[in-house]
């Protein structure tokens, strides 16, 4: 006998209406007993719980390290930041000028070797013109001999500056006697920018 109406689903057949899910731990299919159920049973639930606990602990450690770094960075004074900025700036200059000649004597400049191969030399010294220590007009690749204390006389340095920059720019550089007070945020920006520029140069030559 043919039924005139289809049979209704009963409360005794819940799996006929519940779609299976994939267990978050074992990746096996299962029929959830609750709408938000993510695992197939207590064993997998325990594994997921331990995983979440470990992930939370790792996140807390990372946040703690981040906060410690931020606190250390905030505590740095001008002299420390100036040193960090100078190291980063000098590295950028050396990478920029590798393969060129020493701006004083012309000897080819190569990285490596004792002390890094060559220096980032200042036309006007940092002790005499502190405000120009990060000025790219004033800092160029220089062999260690020419950059040794007292090795390059003032008139030789002025001649080298004129050859490198042109007389007008060299004269302007020597006439620049501004007084500048370095600020911590300013030094951080110079440091971070120099590091980024150095990374880019290394990447381009890799």
Tens of pLDDT, residues 29-41? 999 988 889 999 9
The pair of structure tokens assigned to 54 is 């470990």
Q: 91 lies in which domain range?
A: 76-205
* CB burial of residue 26 (10 Å; 0-12, 13-18, 19+): middle
Under 8 Å between Cβ of 34 and 48: no
Query: What is the tally of structural domains in the chain?
Result: 2
Does one domain contain both 83 and 133? Answer: yes
Does one domain contain both 55 and 116? Answer: no
Query: Which of 41, 75, 109 marks a domain boundary?
Result: 75
8 in any annotated domain = no
Say how far apart CA 11 and CA 26 lie, in whole Å. 29
Does one domain contain both 21 and 122? Answer: no
pLDDT, tens digit, 9 for 90 and up, residues 175-190: 999 999 999 999 999 9
Does one domain contain both 114 and 147? Answer: yes
Strands 139-142 and 119-122, bridge-based pairing: antiparallel
Under 8 Å between Cβ of 82 and 182: yes
> Rounded to two decimals, what is the model's pTM?
0.72
Terminal Cα distance for the chain, rounded = 82
Say how far apart CA 135 and CA 127 lie, in whole Å. 14
Does one domain contain both 86 and 155? Answer: yes
Does one domain contain both 121 and 193? Answer: yes
pLDDT-derived band at 16, boundaries 50, 70, 90:
low
Query: Which of 48, 75, 102 marks a domain boundary?
Result: 75
Ranked by mean pLDDT, which of 3-17, 18-32, 153-167 comes out on top? 153-167
Under 8 Å between Cβ of 94 and 118: yes
Taking residue 47's Cβ as centre, other Cβ atoms within 10 Å add up to: 15
Does one domain contain both 91 and 157? Answer: yes
Does one domain contain both 134 and 166? Answer: yes
Does one domain contain both 95 and 125? Answer: yes
Does one domain contain both 35 and 84? Answer: no
Strand partners, 3: none
């Amino acid at each position: 006998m043919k039924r005139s109406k289809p049979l209704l689903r009963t409360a005794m057949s819940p799996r006929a209406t519940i779609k299976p899910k994939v267990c978050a731990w074992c990746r096996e299919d299962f029929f959830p007993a609750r709408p938000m159920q993510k695992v197939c049973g207590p064993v997998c639930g325990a594994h997921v719980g331990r995983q979440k606990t470990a992930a939370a602990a790792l996140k807390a450690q990372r946040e703690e390290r981040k906060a410690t770094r931020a606190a250390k960075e905030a505590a740095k004074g001008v002299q420390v930041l100036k040193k960090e900025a100078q190291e980063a700036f000098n590295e950028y200059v050396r990478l920029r000028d590798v393969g060129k000649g020493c701006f004083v004597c012309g000897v080819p400049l190569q990285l490596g070797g004792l002390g890094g191969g060559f220096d980032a030399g200042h036309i006007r010294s940092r002790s005499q013109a502190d405000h120009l220590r990060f000025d790219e007009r004033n800092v160029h690749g220089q062999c260690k001999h020419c950059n040794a204390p007292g090795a390059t006389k003032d008139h030789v340095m002025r001649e080298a500056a004129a050859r490198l920059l042109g007389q007008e720019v060299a004269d302007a550089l020597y006439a620049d006697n501004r007084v500048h007070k370095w600020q911590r945020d300013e030094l951080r920006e110079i440091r971070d920018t120099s590091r980024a520029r150095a990374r880019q140069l290394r990447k381009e030559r890799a």
